[in-house]
């Protein structure tokens, strides 16, 4: 049922999309169907962004991405992988590019540019012992398994096999670390969450418009995992430069603040510590290279409604998805990508028939 829908008439306009995650893919497909020549730039070696290298294969088979890529190629979209747009990329974020293109080159070659990368700057854990070997960001750990599943031969894969694994962070990324560690054959997997344990079921009258607060258990948790709530990490300890244990303590809310419970300190074996505490913002070096204004949270500043929506402070440069709104969900990225495509089409043609 998924068949190519190439444009009947070409406009002669060229659009560059930086990032091939859900926002970039959604924008690129809509613009190609509107008749524009679209080129997608991706710093990784495969298309898909965090769909490809953030979500484990056991949660989303990558054949879904491959099918959509083939459809988009038949619709006229050009994909350029292993190409980084910008400069001075941080070491804390994966970058498998082999070629670098400057924003100025894109602005010169294309009639419009959409920056649609992910919120890839991870939240760090500034505690004593953070520098020990065996302590990694979740996104140092998860993408490598994706690459192995895709057929790559890796010499430096981070493995949980036979290790006592501690995952810090109770969200989706932490759950993905749990599931992947189980598949590696970890000796034990423990997941810590700073917030108190939510109730088994939400308080129905208080749900809408608020997020329903309840304990969420994924299939990864069901496969095997010790979960502990209201826990803060105080320090990491080890021998020979390698982590061996984690020292933690209980916390509670008091007078509106999170405080440590007296005499609650405890320790746990830890051969592998995975930091899955969310993401702070898009990669700042990318936004700085484009010279766009940023909001208070370090995202590209652009509105979502009215004339000039999704347009940044720099002429011809638009932003969508995590680059504009910060860390969020795939469905939000797709929505913003499609809306941004309409804004770009209006910018290029004066009007647009693309849906909003």
User: Is residue 126 within a helix (H) or strand (E), and if so which, with residue range?
Assistant: none
Domains and CATH numbers, the chain: 14-121+280-349 (3.50.50.60), 124-275 (3.50.50.60)
Calculate what percentage of the chain has a pLDDT beyond 70: 100
Q: Tell me how many degrees the CA angle 228-231-232 measures, rounded to the nearest 5.
A: 145
Is the model's pLDDT at 105 over the cut of 80?
Answer: yes
Q: What is the mean pLDDT of residues 292-317?
A: 96
DSSP letters, 199-232, are: PSS--GGG-TTS--------HHHHHS-EEEESEE
Q: Which two tokens stand for residue 258?
A: 């999170």
DSSP conformation class of 124: P
DSSP letters, 21-62, are: SHHHHHHHHHHHHTT-EEEEE-SSSSS-THHHHTS-TTTS-T
pLDDT at 199: 86
Tally of residues, the chain: 356
Instruction: Convert the pLDDT of each residue in 154-187 to its tens digit.
Output: 999 999 999 999 999 999 999 999 999 999 999 9
pLDDT at 353: 94
What residues contact 194, with CB distance under 8 A and at least 6 apart? 170, 230, 231, 232, 251, 258
Instruction: Convert the pLDDT of each residue in 190-228 to its tens digit.
Output: 999 999 888 888 887 777 788 788 888 999 999 999 999
Q: Which of 68-72, 118-122, 340-344 has the lowest mean pLDDT?
A: 118-122
Given a contact cutoff of 8 angstroms between Cβ atoms, the answer to whether 300 and 97 are in contact is no
SS3 288: helix
């Amino acid at each position: 049922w998924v068949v190519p829908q190439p444009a009947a008439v070409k406009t002669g306009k060229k659009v560059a999309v930086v990032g091939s995650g859900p926002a970039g893919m959604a924008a690129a497909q809509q613009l190609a169907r509107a008749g524009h020549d679209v080129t997608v730039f991706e710093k990784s070696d495969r298309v898909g962004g965090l769909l490809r290298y953030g979500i484990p294969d056991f949660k989303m088979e990558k054949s879904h991405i491959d099918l959509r890529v083939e459809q988009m190629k038949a619709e006229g979209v050009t994909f350029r992988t292993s190409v980084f747009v910008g400069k001075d990329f941080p070491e804390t974020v994966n970058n498998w590019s082999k070629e670098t293109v400057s924003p100025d080159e894109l602005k010169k070659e294309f009639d419009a540019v959409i920056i649609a990368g992910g919120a890839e700057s991870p939240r760090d854990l500034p505690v004593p012992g953070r520098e020990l070997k065996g302590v990694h960001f979740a996104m140092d750990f998860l993408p490598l398994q994706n690459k192995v599943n895709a057929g790559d031969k890796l010499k430096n894969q981070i493995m949980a096999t036979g290790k006592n694994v501690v995952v810090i962070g109770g969200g989706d990324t932490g759950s993905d670390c749990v599931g992947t560690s189980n598949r590696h054959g970890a000796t034990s997997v423990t997941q810590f969450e700073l917030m108190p344990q939510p109730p088994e079921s939400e308080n129905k009258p208080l749900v809408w418009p608020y997020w329903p607060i309840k304990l969420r258990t994924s299939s990864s948790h069901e496969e095997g995992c010790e979960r502990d709530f209201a826990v803060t990490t105080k320090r990491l300890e080890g021998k020979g430069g390698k982590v061996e244990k984690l020292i933690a303590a209980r916390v509670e809310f008091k007078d509106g603040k999170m405080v440590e419970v007296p005499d609650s300190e405890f320790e746990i074996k830890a051969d592998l510590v995975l930091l899955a505490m969310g993401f702070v913002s898009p990669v700042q070096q990318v936004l700085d290279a484009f010279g766009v204004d940023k909001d208070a949270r370090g995202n590209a500043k652009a509105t979502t409604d009215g004339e000039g929506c999704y347009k940044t402070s720099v002429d011809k440069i638009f932003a969508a998805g995590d680059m504009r709104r910060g860390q969020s969900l795939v469905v939000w990225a797709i929505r913003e990508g499609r809306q941004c495509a309409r804004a770009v089409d209006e910018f290029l043609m004066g009007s647009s028939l693309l849906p909003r």
